[in-house]
Amino acid sequence: MIVTIVNLRSKVKGMNHLFFRYFLGAVITLQPALGQEWTQFRGPGASGHSEAKGIPTKISEKNIRWSSQLPGTGHSSPVLWENTIFLTSTDKNAGGIRYVLAVDAANGKEKWRNKQTFGTYRHHRYNDYSSSTPCCDANSVYVAWTSPKGVEVVALDHAGKQKWSKLLGKFYAKHGSSASPVLAGGSLIIGSHGENADSFIVGLDPETGNEKWRLKRKSNDKGAYSTPVMRKAQDGVLELVFSSTAHGITALNPANGKIRWEHDAEFSQRCVGGPVISGNTIFVAAGSGSGGKESAVINIHDGKPEIAWEAGLKGLPYVPTGLAFKGLLFLLNDGGIMTCRRAKDGTVLWQERVIGAPYSSPICINDKIYCCSKQGELTVLLASDKLEPISSYRFPEGIYATPAVANGNLFIRTFSKLYCISGLSK
List, for residues 249-274, the tens digit of each pLDDT value. 999 999 999 999 999 999 999 889 99
pLDDT recorded at residue 195: 59
Residues 348 and 401 in one domain: yes
Kind plus residue range of the DSSP H or E element containing 157: strand 150-157
User: SS3 of 404, please?
Assistant: strand
Exposed, middle or buried by CB within 10 Å (0-12, 13-18, 19+), for 93?
exposed
pLDDT tens digits, 172-183: 555 555 578 999
Residues 199 and 57 in one domain: yes
Residues 147 and 26 in one domain: no
Which domain range does residue 9 map to? Answer: 1-34
Measured CA distances, 234 to 31, 237, 238, 300 (Å): 21, 7, 9, 9
> Mean pLDDT across the stretch 208-236?
88
The amino acid present at 351, given as its one-letter code, is: Q
pLDDT recorded at residue 193: 62
Residues 77 and 147 in one domain: yes
**Which CATH number goes with the domain that contains 266?**
2.130.10.10
pLDDT tens digits, 392-423: 999 999 999 999 999 899 999 999 999 999 98
Residues 316 and 414 in one domain: yes
Residues 184 and 96 in one domain: yes
DSSP secondary structure letter of residue 160:
S
What is the chain's Cα-based Rg?
20
Residues 300 and 229 in one domain: yes
Backbone angles phi, psi at 304, to 5 degrees: -125, 135
Residues 272 and 413 in one domain: yes
| Model confidence, pTM | 0.87
Q: Is the dihedral of CA 26, 30, 32, 34 positive or negative?
A: negative
Euclidean distance between CA atoms 405 and 342, whole angstroms: 26
Residues 11 and 99 in one domain: no
Number of domains in the chain: 2
pLDDT recorded at residue 75: 83
pLDDT recorded at residue 20: 37
Residues 275 and 403 in one domain: yes
Residues 14 and 126 in one domain: no
Residues 42 and 11 in one domain: no
Q: Which of 55, 31, 54, 56 is nearest to 44 (CA)?
A: 31
pLDDT-based confidence at residue 121 (cuts at 50, 70, 90): low
